[in-house]
Structure 1
Amino acid sequence: MSIVKTGTAGQLKVMIFENRQQLGEEAAQLVTEKINELLGKQESVNVIFAAAASQNEFLATLIKSDIDWKRVNAFHMDEYIGLPVGAKQHFSHFLGEQIFNKVPFANVFVLNGSTEDTEAECQRYTELLLKYPSDITCMGIGENTHLAFNDPFIADFNEDKLVKVVELAEESKQQQVNEDCFDHVSQVPAYAYTLTVPALLKAKAIYSMVPGPSKAEAVFHTLNAEISEQYPSTILRTLSNAYLFLDNESAGNIEMESQMSPITFN
């Protein structure tokens, strides 16, 4: 492991690695340890996954881990509304290729972005989340600091729902183009399902993998901005059970050697 720095920002534990491969491997190791720890105490473990390129190295390592997957239930945290059935841009398709179809989960619960009754779909997924309360959330942070599709100002730290329909911010749509999911922003659906911020943070442990230069500004705001819905990821600083994994590129705007650094380094 080539860890560069470790520290805390508020209550959030922060780890900075030389590159995204090392970041992904260490994150997978810690998630594996937590899953196995929980499996030693309970019959099953419920894990929420994010669908994004930032998760690639983490997921590729996690599927090789020694875990009793038949005792693990999988969820995902957001999904486009209105794409054709079978479209490769569906987040459930991405996660199917990366992990859902790679290991023998007890159950894989996905949001149905093709159903016309969005209210019923929110209720269906809410009931599943209540039946299988989340133990672990594995997430990224958007370029505009969104968590899942809880974009700035749409996010509600005190939301009473677990799942809702949201209109996507232009920054979130552009990020999907930047990550080669769509050729043009006009192709990105206007609406999506998302787990709410409280739903994501109900878990016993939260792991946020955020590599790459495109996330440097979001990381800066996550660690420096006032904790508010203007920058949704700032809420992570209030959580003692949350871990933020960065590489040298995503941590590029942090003044690591300065007294002004937002991180108290170990």
Structure 2
Amino acid sequence: MTTTLPLRVQVEADRGAMGRAAAGAIATAIQTRLALQSQLRMVFAAAPSQLETLTALAATPGVDWSRITAFHMDEYLDVPEDSPQRFGNWLRATLFDQLPFGAVHLIEPGEDPWRAARRYAAELATAPIDLVCLGIGDNGHLAFNDPPVADLNDPQEVKVVELDDACRRQQVNDGCFATLAEVPTRAITLTVPRLMAAEQLFCVAPGARKRESVRRALTDPISAACPATALRTHPSCRLFLDQESAAGLEDT
């Protein structure tokens, strides 16, 4: 099933098919843009929900990764630099170290996370962001813009945030941490306006736990109560689902 309103939604049979479909669309967008411009800049989400897409994308032939500069969209604070839970480390293992990117810019919080946020915002602002590969949180968040702190008109581009309990529970449910107590309470995140400023968005949200947040993203009023509703304001956003996350949409 594919629809174009309120954004383009594509539903595949399972997570594997969804990942391959999303990767194919992303690779086509990359190749189309690189036929018209010398370089391309991308932002990637880091989460188990993105694994099938990124694995398929890494295996896609014909992509000139040497002309691509990569960023990621959020990072935990108060986690050791070598921790596998760090999003930068996860993306390196899954994607960045597997391909010959032209450049990779990781969020490095250091001892002054607000300074790190400003530095990352400045790096992002040096040229337009062409593509963003993102997901939808169980609580409807985009990146780490949770409903309590999200601002769809945020004047900042990158900032330090407190993570809400629903967001932190998702990290346990995803298998990233064994207990809620282990999940960090703070992070650096790209803001919603920074994500929406990209030329094209590719959103991947598989699994039954995404069902309610996907429904809200597509049907709720556009507001910070469900940050993912902001996807409907973007002129070029594609949402890829599997049968589990799409269940019940035909009734909305």
Distance in 1 separating the partners of 2:97 and 2:190: 22
Kindly indicate whether residue 95 of structure 2 is the aligned counterpart of residue 99 of structure 1: yes
Unaligned runs of 5+ in 2: none
Unaligned runs of 5+ in 1: 262-266
Amino acid across the alignment from 1:31: I
Normalising by structure 1, report the TM-score. Answer: 0.92
What's the Cα RMSD here?
A: 1.0
Shift in Å, 1:127? 1.1
Shift in Å, 1:157? 1.1
Shift in Å, 1:153? 3.2
- Which 4+ residue blocks in structure 1 deviate beyond 2 angstroms? none
Shift in Å, 1:240? 2.5
Distance in 2 separating the partners of 1:132 and 1:89: 29
| Equivalent pairs, count | 251
Kindly indicate whether residue 224 of structure 2 is the aligned counterpart of residue 242 of structure 1: no
Kindly indicate whether residue 82 of structure 2 is the aligned counterpart of residue 86 of structure 1: yes
Normalising by structure 2, report the TM-score. Answer: 0.97
Superimposed CA distance per residue, residues 18-46 of structure 1 (whole angstroms, 9 cap, x where no aligned partner): 11111110111111111111111111100
Kindly indicate whether residue 37 of structure 2 is the aligned counterpart of residue 69 of structure 1: no
Distance in 1 separating the partners of 2:161 and 2:143: 11
**Which residue in the other structure is 2:213 paired with?**
218
**Which residue in the other structure is 1:264 paired with?**
none
SS in 2 for 1:236: helix
Kindly indicate whether residue 248 of structure 2 is the aligned counterpart of residue 253 of structure 1: yes
Residue among 185, 188, 200 paired with 1:205: 200
Shift in Å, 1:95? 0.4
Shift in Å, 1:132? 3.5
Distance in 2 separating the partners of 1:200 and 1:226: 19
Shift in Å, 1:62? 0.5
State whether residues 140 and 228 of structure 2, in contact with CA within 8 Å, keep that contact through their aligned partners in structure 1. Answer: yes
State whether residues 148 and 164 of structure 2, in contact with CA within 8 Å, keep that contact through their aligned partners in structure 1. Answer: no
Distance in 1 separating the partners of 2:38 and 2:4: 32
Shift in Å, 1:7? 0.7
Shift in Å, 1:9? 3.3
SS in 2 for 1:99: helix
State whether residues 217 and 253 of structure 1, in contact with CA within 8 Å, keep that contact through their aligned partners in structure 2. Answer: no
**Which residue in the other structure is 2:174 paired with?**
179
SS in 2 for 1:151: coil
